[in-house]
Amino acid sequence: MQTLINSKIQEFSVQAYHNDDFKTVTNKDLEGKWSILFFYPADFTFVCPTELGDMADKYAEFQKMGVEVYSVSTDTHFTHKAWHDTSDTIKKINYPMLADPTGLLTRAFGVHIEEEGLAYRGTFLINPAGEIKLAEINDNGIGRNADELMRKVQAAQFIAEHPDEVCPAKWKQGGETLKPGLDLVGKI
């Protein structure tokens, strides 16, 4: 399996439901800013609304960090609207909900389940240059945590600004970092 880390995102154009409207979102919309693509199996399911609601609760914080969030499933933008209109949890969402019924994005990011036409729970952080800096894929019974994702985004942004430093396990914003070098070998 080939890794997506540090690869550039592919060109794409998909429909989205966002702020009570339908719109087209392309790879160009992600240029110049940090972006999260948050893949999930399907609308009107069980674990998915808990995750999307968790992301909705943290959306303003992600935006303050200069990060746009995009949820993605193989449902249509019409289905996203119907789910938004009928679920109190999904009504909280203010980020774009991308529709990928052809599987263009799910295949490009390696999360498409061919026999089901659905996506695994994939989380991808893309930097302003369009490079993938975080790629995580969970089996569909394992929900994700927006707080942990936020910590990882903060770490990615920190090392982008401080390329000679790295963030150790459990690092939190403002915490101690490491400067790799011979003096650290065998000392940690």
Q: Which residues are catalytic?
A: 48
Instruction: Read off φ and ψ for residue 91, nearest 5 degrees.
Output: -60, -25
How far is Cα 130 from Cα 34, in angstroms, rounded to an integer?
Answer: 8
Q: How do the residues of the chain divide into helix, strand and coil, expressed in percent and rounded to 5?
A: 30, 25, 40
User: What's the Cα-to-Cα distance from 86 to each of 18, 33, 35, rounded to whole Å?
Assistant: 15, 32, 27
- Beta strand pairing call for 67-73 and 13-18: unpaired
DSSP bridge partners of 166:
178
Q: Which amino acid belongs to residue 96? A: P
